[in-house]
Amino acid sequence: MKTFQPKTDYKAIAICLLAAIVFWIMNALNKDGYSDKISFPLQFTYNDSLYIPTQPLPEKISVNVSGNGWNLLRKALALDDNSPIKYAITKPLKTRFLNTGSLADSISDYIKDVKVNYVVADKFELEFDRKISKDFVVKVDSSHISLKDRYVITSLINVNPRIITLVGPESVLAEMGSTILVKVPSQRLQENYDDEVKLPLPQNALIKANKDRVAVSFEVAELLK
C-alpha cells in the first residue's frame, strides 16, 4: 500500500512570500526617521542680457533630506512636481560661490513634506563676465594666397560683409584685437576667385557670431612674357 504524499504548492508559497515582503515594505515606508540623498533640478536666474557665465552652471543639486519613507520614495522617483528650484543671482560679477545655506532654505520652501538637512556639496564656484557685442573688421591674408606661377592678383580683394559682430564674454573678446584674418583655401589659382570663406572664429561655445562665412572675390591674370 502506497503512502499518500501531498504535493508542495510552490506557487502558493511564492505568492504568500511576495505578499509578506510587500506588507513589510509598506509597513516600513509608513515610518518616519528615514534619510536619503536626493537630487533636485536647479535653475539660475540672472540678467542674461548683461552677464554670461564663463563656466557651466550646475543643473542639479544634491540634498540630504529626512522624513517619512513614502515621501522620500516619491522624491527619489520624482513622482511629485519636479519643476526646478530657482536660485537668483542679483550681482553676478561679485558672486563667486553658491550660498548653500540660502539654497537649503529655498529647497525647504520648495518641498514641505520632508526635512532638508543640508546641501551635500560644500560649495559651488561661480564665474560670470560682462556680456558684450563687438565689431571686427574682416581682412584677407593676401600674403598666403596661392597663385600659379606667373599669375598675380589684378584687383582689389573684396570681402562681404567686411564687418562681423561677435557676442560673448568681455574678457575673451578683448583679447581678440579688432581684426579677423581669413585665408583663401584654394591652391595655385589661375582664374578669378569668387567664393565663400569660413571665418576662423574661436572654438568657444560662449561666443556667438552673426556670420560664420564671408564672400571673397578678386581678379587674377597672367603676367605677360
C-alpha cell at 37: 540623498
Domain boundary among 97, 126, 155: 126
Is 8 domain-assigned?
no
Q: What is the DSSP string of 57-102?
A: PPSEEEEEEEE-HHHHHHHHTT-S--PPEEEE-S-GGG--B--HHH
Reference 38, options 83, 96, 7, 78; nearest CA is 78
Q: Is 54 within the bounds of a domain?
A: yes
DSSP 119-155: ESSS--B--EEEEEEEEEEEEE-GGG--B-TTEEE-S
Return the pLDDT at 28: 46
Query: Does an H or E element contain 31, and which?
Result: none
pTM: 0.72
Please, what is the Cα angle at 33 between 32 and 39, to 5 degrees? 100
Residue 25 within any structural domain of the chain: no
Are 121 and 156 part of one and the same domain? Answer: no
Owning domain of residue 217: 131-222
The residue from 78, 106, 126 where one domain ends is 126
pLDDT digits (tens, 9 = 90+) for 193-217: 999 999 999 888 999 999 999 999 9
Residue 100: count of CB within 10 angstroms of its CB: 18
* Distance (Å, whole) CA 6 – CA 109: 61
Q: In terms of Cα–Cα distance, which of 74, 90, 57, 52 is closest to 166?
A: 52
pLDDT of 24: 46
pLDDT score of 133 more than 80 = yes
Give how many domains the chain has, as a whole number: 2
Residues 37 and 115 in one domain: yes
Give me the CATH number covering residue 143: 2.170.120.40
Domain membership of residue 164 (yes or no) is yes
